[in-house]
Homo-oligomer: A and B are copies of this chain.
Amino acid sequence: MRFTSEQRLDDGVLEREFTLGEIPGILWTPGSASTSGSTSGSASTSAPARLILLGHPGGLREMYPRLAARARYRAAEGFAAATIELPGSGDRPRSAAAEQARADLRRALETGEPVEEIVDRLVLPLVERAVPEWRATLDALLSLPGIGGPVGYAGGVIAIGIRLAVLEPRIAAAVMFAGTFVPRAVFEEARQVAIPLQVLLQWDDEGNNRQQALDLFDAFGSKEKTLHANLGGHAGVPRFEEDDANRFFARHLK
| A residues in contact (CB < 8 Å) with B | 203, 214, 217-218, 222-231, 238, 240, 243-244, 247, 251
Task: For residue A79, give the distance in angstroms from its CB to the closest CB of chain B.
Answer: 18
Known: A214-B214, A218-B203. A240 touches B231 (CB 8 A): no
Task: For residue A191, give the distance in angstroms from its CB to the closest CB of chain B.
Answer: 13
Q: Whose C-beta in chain B lies nearest to the C-beta of A229?
A: B227
Q: Whose C-beta in chain B lies nearest to the C-beta of A240?
A: B251
Collect the chain B residues with CB atoms within 8 Å of residue A224's CB.
231, 238
Known: A214-B214, A218-B203, A243-B247. A231 touches B223 (CB 8 A): yes
Taken together as a complex, chains A and B put the C-alpha atoms of A217 and B217 apart, in Å, by 17
Q: Which of B222, B223, B225, B228 lies in contact with A226, CB distance below 8 A?
A: B228
Collect the chain B residues with CB atoms within 8 Å of residue A218's CB.
203
Check if B225 sits within 8 Å of A228, measured CB to CB: no
Taken together as a complex, chains A and B put the C-alpha atoms of A24 and B28 apart, in Å, by 56
Taken together as a complex, chains A and B put the C-alpha atoms of A230 and B198 apart, in Å, by 9
Collect the chain B residues with CB atoms within 8 Å of residue A217's CB.
203, 229
